[in-house]
Amino acid sequence: MTKRVAIFVSGGGSNMRALVEDMTGDHPARACVVLSNNADAGGIAWAKARGIATEVVDHRPFQGDRTAFEGALSAAMARHRPDMICLAGFMRKLTGGFTDQWAGRMINIHPSLLPKYKGLHTHSRALDAGDTIHGCTVHEVTAALDDGPILGQAQLSINADDTPQTLAARVLTLEHQLYPAVLRRFAADDRTPVFLQG
């Protein structure tokens, strides 16, 4: 039975695109909706152009009322009957009230080798720490920020001349390989971690 996937984005959605482009043929999942908190998100335009259903729930009118915002997210998503959620650059923190409903059915990609560097500015933090290895992680989503069981990691060596920008670009290339590989397994109920070398 093919899994129906809701993909959440806030911007261009390059990871969403990588997921959608991989969900063909014998893949055990298909995107049923791309949802954003930003009507101008490039990911929304891209999905619409490909005939994928889209929903926009602007967080700003909720003025920090996360519960009300998440209620609106749930209502918009319910119309598409997803079996699981992929967060792909969705820049809103979700509360336990939302994540608990989707426990074991929601995954996220984060640009660091978790548990290192939860939160923002991961590339500059890795450089500032003098790390020699960096990468990205796909994990199950829990109420704790960038926490939850790890489903896959991809790593690369940091170059002496790397900047946060060059490192971000190199890690993003890895993200586009790792996230589809993990989703393919996860949608088939296989939680064996995926490990890639860049």
Catalytic residues: 110
Are 16 and 43 within 8 A, CB to CB? yes
Instruction: Compute and round to an integer the Cα radius of gyration of the chain.
Output: 16
Give strand pairing partners of 31.
Answer: 5
For residue 181, what are the contacts with CB-CB under 8 A and spacing of at least 6?
A: 152, 194, 196
Bond prior to 115 in cis (omega within 30° of 0) = yes
Q: For residue 77, what is the enclosing H or E element?
A: helix 66-78
Query: Rounded to an integer, what distance in angstroms lies between the CA atom of residue 20 and that of residue 89?
Result: 14
